[in-house]
Amino acid sequence: MQKSFKISTPGRICLFGEHQDYLNLPVIACAISLRIAITGSRRKDLTINLDLPDIGERNSFSIASDIAYTEDKDYFKSVVNVLLRKGLTFSAGFDCTVKGDIPINAGTSSSSALVVTWVNFLAQMSDQAVQLSEEEIAEFAYQAEVLEFSQAGGMMDQYSTALGGTIFLDSRPKIDIERLPADLKTFVLGDSEEAKDTQEILGRVKERVFEIVRRLKKKRPGFSLGGIRREDVYEFAEDLSPEQLELLHGTVRNYEITLDAKEILLQTSLNHNRLGSLLNQHQSILRDVLKISTPKIDRMIAAALEAGAYGAKINGSGGGGCMFAYAPHNSQQVLQAIERAGGKSWLVNVDEGTRIG
């Protein structure tokens, strides 16, 4: 039985399929080389003490009697509850430190990476000392983060941070993960440092698309977002407002872009230009149709492209937070251009998933 342990997990960027996973449409995401880690050791009682120096907070509760939720995103307790329901037990608490370099609340899955790390840590430090599979870690993290609090997100964040690498995730009719072997090079991650409300944006965009689906299914019971093409969209002009028709067209186009990108990422020789073009096309829809970009992020993207990036887009739910640029050949110049536009930047590469150490 382990007395002390360290688990770390990467953040992620969504390459393609932004705002698609909760619609049961596929996404392509990759883990990045910014990580969060939990280091902890056993106590002689059932108290869990968590030191979070990056945000200047501490958290403490007892496994024996204090695992009722006291806040909207009580993830440390929700993971304990999910694992207890799965049959794991804990005869001791822990003293833990949580530290990382993933931008917080910026669209790079800092919260999911934290939850995945906590699931992995607790499972291995449980009385059963369980080594969960990456897929089990992702599923339990999804339950603890999304289902436990009835949040609006999909499964991309938990699976991409748990599994690592570059993945194609399709949730129809069940979760299907395909690891993509593409030899992706350097990305430049840029944080606008603009505050964002992830749940508000997810809920707003999701509800707009769901209303379209509900309306069309009343007249066409077999309607499915994944079952139509761009050229089919205008068949629904009489059933939808112009704004809804534009949103449906953008949603279907994003789906097609994701499938096109998958084919590129499966090729032995990666076509950087084509990949960048698809990133730019995806961003234009996110900016002009879903309207989740911001003027500052638009400036950061424009600066990155001017400096020679192949493509760039907002990352995550939008409304602030991060963008990224694909810049394998002139990454330092792109980083400097993003910083001149007001962003805080990092050079990142595709990384492995949750791990010991």
- E-only strand ranges, the chain: 4-16, 27-42, 47-52, 57-62, 94-100, 166-170, 176-179, 187-191, 311-314, 322-326, 344-348, 355-356
The string of pLDDT tens digits covering residues 38-57 is 999 999 999 999 999 999 99
How many beta carbons lie within 10 A of that of residue 339, not counting itself?
15
pLDDT-based confidence at 316, cuts 50/70/90?
confident
The string of pLDDT tens digits covering residues 110-169 is 999 999 999 999 999 999 999 999 999 999 999 999 999 988 778 999 999 999 999 999
57-62 and 94-100: which strand pairing? unpaired
For residue 263, pLDDT over 80 is answered with: yes
Contact (CB, 8 A) for 118 and 75: yes
- Distance separating alpha carbons of residues 265 and 184, to the nearest angstrom: 9
pTM value is 0.93
Chain centre to alpha carbon of residue 184: 18
pLDDT-based confidence at 2, cuts 50/70/90?
low
What residue segments make up the domains of the chain, in order of their start? 4-181, 188-348
pLDDT-based confidence at 206, cuts 50/70/90?
confident
CATH topology of domain 4-181: Ribosomal Protein S5; domain 2 (3.30.230)
For residue 190, pLDDT over 70 is answered with: yes
The CATH architecture assigned to 188-348 reads: 2-Layer Sandwich (3.30)
The string of pLDDT tens digits covering residues 66-118 is 799 999 899 999 999 999 999 999 999 999 999 999 999 899 999 999 999 99
Could you give the maximum distance between any two Cα atoms of the chain, in Å?
68
